[in-house]
């Protein structure tokens, strides 16, 4: 099965900024729900921190194959899914990657994490 792909930078940035996150030992998944879209679109990211070009291409091939197996039942879900690789992705067990990806859409948490820092500027100060 072939999943639709994310190709534009603005789609990757939107998923990173407004999406929900799921963190695994080998990668991070960013999920952005898009009700107006039909079907799931997949984006893969492997920065130079993960290794040289050969390693990055191997990581992307492994993630694409794992996503094809893990997301077949959820391919009709209207969302963008970005997988951000880590250096541990190369040595991770393939079955573990498939298991993590299959639960990533449901377990992804909001990007903010629900924690808000109090705004110090709006505190009531005595007038001087």
Residue 122 lies in a domain: no
- What is the model's pLDDT at position 126? 59
- What is the model's pLDDT at position 16? 93
Residue 44 lies in a domain: yes
CATH number (domain holding residue 25):
3.30.230.10
- What is the model's pLDDT at position 80? 92
H or E element, residue 88: none
pLDDT digits (tens, 9 = 90+) for 15-33: 999 999 999 999 999 999 9
> With contact defined as beta carbons under 8 Å apart, do 18 and 32 qualify?
yes
Angle at 14 between CA 71 and CA 77, to 5 degrees: 25
As for how many domains the chain has, the answer is: 1
Residue 55 lies in a domain: yes
Q: Which two tokens stand for residue 113?
A: 């994490």
Q: Which two tokens stand for residue 24?
A: 């695994």
**Model pTM?**
0.80
Mean pLDDT of 32-60: 93
């Amino acid at each position: 099965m072939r999943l639709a792909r994310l190709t534009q930078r603005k789609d990757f940035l939107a998923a990173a900024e407004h999406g929900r996150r799921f963190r695994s030992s080998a990668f991070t998944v960013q999920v952005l729900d898009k009700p107006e879209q039909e079907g799931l679109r997949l984006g893969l990211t492997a920065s130079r921190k993960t290794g040289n070009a050969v390693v990055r291409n191997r990581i992307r091939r492994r993630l694409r194959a794992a996503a094809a197996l893990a997301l077949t039942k959820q391919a009709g879900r209207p969302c963008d899914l970005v997988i951000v690789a880590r250096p541990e992705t190369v040595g991770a067990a393939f079955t573990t990657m498939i298991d993590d990806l299959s639960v990533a859409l449901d377990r992804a948490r909001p990007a903010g994490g629900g924690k808000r820092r109090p705004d110090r500027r709006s505190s009531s100060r005595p007038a001087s």
